[in-house]
Structure 1
């Protein structure tokens, strides 16, 4: 097992089961206690967990609650969501990531003949009564703070589906074009979403350039389109051009179209 994969499994175990001793982690992953200790040292350096006597606990989830994030940069998110809806063709299967911009995109899909695949519960609530939209709700562990389903069950579900387009969220895009996230539990899901989709559309408002985040989701070569409300900084723009990523910069959506 690759070290990165093993460390993700350690973090998943800590988030699901709480604090765990080295012995239990070693038995669960089938490796030596010395290997687990080295992993814990590395993850502690990265700020992804806290070491305690004989074991570790997961670092606190630093994401802002969904309801608070939903009130930030609403007009910019609406403009991005409007443009994303224009990219979707009737009859397609679209995969919507977690996040508030994906929720605002869902508001623009009412009455359309589409299949929407998601683990975003706000998207589900938005579209559940629309008979024109077929919803595939991915299973998983409830992450209440961000209104989503996560974990190995969600990853397993993603391996069983295929989407024409993915609308992917991010905590930020680094100057080299790398797509980042602040919450490591979401990273394996985002990678599985990318693998399940023909086209990857990254939704990122101007605040995401240059980006932040402790975990790398993918490189610019894995992204087909970026929809943003302002041009990226020069370094990031150059990296995206080199990777042949189409960048669509949108103006603020007219007030009469906001929801």
Structure 2
């Protein structure tokens, strides 16, 4: 059994059953205790679980359900989403990550002759009746509160596709430009999306600069463009530019000047 598949199975067991012993993992996976110990060390170092004496325990997920964040920083997210959508060309294939900003990107892609691939069920609901958009939904386990699909089925499906553009979300960007996330179970999906894409666009409003998370998704070098808005931490933006990443800013036009209209630049 490949190490990647073992790691996914171990994470699934730990997240479903809670604390688990090495002996139990040996019995369930049919691997040696030495192999399981090495796997647990690797997963602990990646920040995907916590290794303890004789086994492992899951890390607490600190992300917030979809509905709780949908109405947070709406103008900023809308401006970032519009800028991301305007980077997509007709005829392209777009990967949309989980999260509320990706949903807003989807609303700006309605009516466009493009292909959208996603694990975001909110995006699916937004585009399901749009005849112009070819909509591809990846398989996986449905996390209802987070409106996403996760697991090795989604990862395997991502290995079979190729996208022109990925719009990636994040819990925060560290000062050195690394992309972090607190939604542990989503991290392998994000990494698979990056690997499946020609161009990676990170959508992150200013509240994500600088930020932190339990696990690192990728370093700045994996990104092509970061779309943010005024107020993003200049030191973090400088680190991104130093890594060769284009930083674009989307501005919210003041309501007094333009009735709250949004512009992307």
In structure 2, the gaps of 5 or more residues are none
User: Runs (4+) of structure 1 moved beyond 6 Å?
Assistant: 1-5, 41-47, 50-53
Q: By how many angstroms is 1:6 displaced? A: 5.8
1:92-118 deviations in Å (ceiling 9; x for gaps): 110000000000111111111111000
Q: What is the 5 A alignment of 1:60-75?
A: 60-75=60-75
Decide whether aligned partners of structure 1 residues 152 and 248 sit closer, same or farther in structure 2, where only a CA change above 3 A counts.
same
Are the counterparts in 2 of residues 46 and 214 from structure 1 also a CA contact under 8 Å? no
**1:130 and 2:130 are equivalent in the alignment:** yes
Aligned length: 258
Name the counterpart of 1:234.
234
Look up the match of 1:155: 155
Contact map agreement 1:231 1:249 (CA 8 A) in 2: no
- Aligned pair in 2 of structure 1 residues 164, 31: CA closer, same or farther (>3 Å)? same
Deviation at 1:257? 5.0
Deviation by residue 1:53-92 (Cα, 9 ceiling, x = unmatched): 9644423322111001101101100000111111111111
**Separation in 2, partners of 1:144, 1:128:** 18
When residues 53 and 241 of structure 1 are mapped into structure 2, their CA distance, relative to the original with a 3 A threshold, is: closer
Shift of 1:256: 5.6
- Normalising by structure 1, report the TM-score: 0.88
Is the deviation greater in 31-40 or in 164-173?
31-40
Aligned in 2, Cα 1:43/1:94: closer, same or farther, shift over 3 Å?
Answer: closer
SS in 1 for 2:109: coil
SS in 2 for 1:177: coil
Single out whichever of 135-144 and 56-65 deviates more from structure 2: 56-65
Which residue in the other structure is 1:78 paired with? 78
8 Å CA contact 1:140–1:154 kept in 2: the answer is: yes
1:101 alignment counterpart: 101
Flag structure 1 segments of 5+ consecutive residues without an equivalent.
Answer: none
| CA root-mean-square deviation | 2.8
Q: Does the Cα contact within 8 Å between 1:230 and 1:250 map onto a contact in 2?
A: yes
Match of 1:111 in 2: 111
Verify the 8 A CA contact 2:61 2:184 in the aligned structure 1: no
Q: Secondary structure in 2 aligned to 1:239?
A: helix
